[in-house]
């Protein structure tokens, strides 16, 4: 069993054209490599569509995959360089240690200032006490 790791943030990578309920674990290293190839092709298609719109004189946001293009190019999303295969590596499940993130902020449910340490994959999700979703469940 293998993971695809995004080397820009050391997090587990999820293919952009894969459904959210599908697993991020691959049975073989070859399957994981195919996942990297699919990801690179997905972002390359987004770049090609934006270039085509610009060549026609249209604004770049007219491209159907403009949001994928923004994911790969704009630094405020902290997901830069998704279109390069060198941004990913394949790691065996037993060798991967997920990085922990410590954040301080105001909890939406109580209004108190709290410090939270969570795995990188849970930041911003329903298990993060610094999000509204955590308090509304």
Sorted by where each begins, the domain ranges of the chain are 2-95, 100-136
* Region 116-124 average pLDDT: 80
Please report the sign of the dihedral spanned by the C-alpha atoms of residue 46, residue 48, residue 51, residue 53: negative
pTM of the model: 0.67
What confidence tier does 81 reach under pLDDT thresholds 50, 70, 90?
low
- 113 Cβ partners below 8 Å, 6+ apart? 104, 105, 106, 107
What confidence tier does 76 reach under pLDDT thresholds 50, 70, 90?
low
Please classify residue 81 by burial: count the beta carbons closer than 10 Å to its beta carbon, then call 0-12 exposed, 13-18 middle and 19+ buried. Answer: middle
Q: How far apart are CA 44 and CA 51, in angstroms?
A: 10
Contact between residue 12 and residue 5 where contact means Cβ atoms under 8 Å apart: yes
Q: Is the pLDDT at 121 greater than 70, yes or no?
A: yes
Encode pLDDT of 22-68 as tens digits: 788 889 999 989 988 888 888 889 888 888 888 888 888 888 888 88
- 20 Cβ partners below 8 Å, 6+ apart? 14
């Amino acid at each position: 069993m293998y993971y695809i790791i995004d080397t820009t943030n050391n997090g587990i990578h999820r293919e952009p054209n894969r459904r959210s309920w599908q697993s991020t674990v691959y049975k073989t290293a070859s399957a994981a490599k195919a996942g990297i190839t699919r990801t690179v092709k997905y972002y390359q298609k987004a770049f090609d569509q934006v270039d085509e719109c610009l060549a026609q004189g249209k604004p770049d946001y007219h491209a159907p995959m403009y949001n994928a293009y923004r994911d790969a190019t704009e630094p405020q999303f902290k997901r830069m360089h998704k279109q390069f295969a060198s941004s990913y590596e394949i790691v065996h499940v037993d060798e991967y240690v997920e990085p922990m993130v410590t954040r301080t902020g105001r909890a939406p449910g109580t209004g108190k200032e709290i410090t939270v340490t969570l795995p990188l994959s849970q930041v911003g999700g329903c298990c993060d006490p610094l999000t509204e979703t955590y308090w509304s469940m």
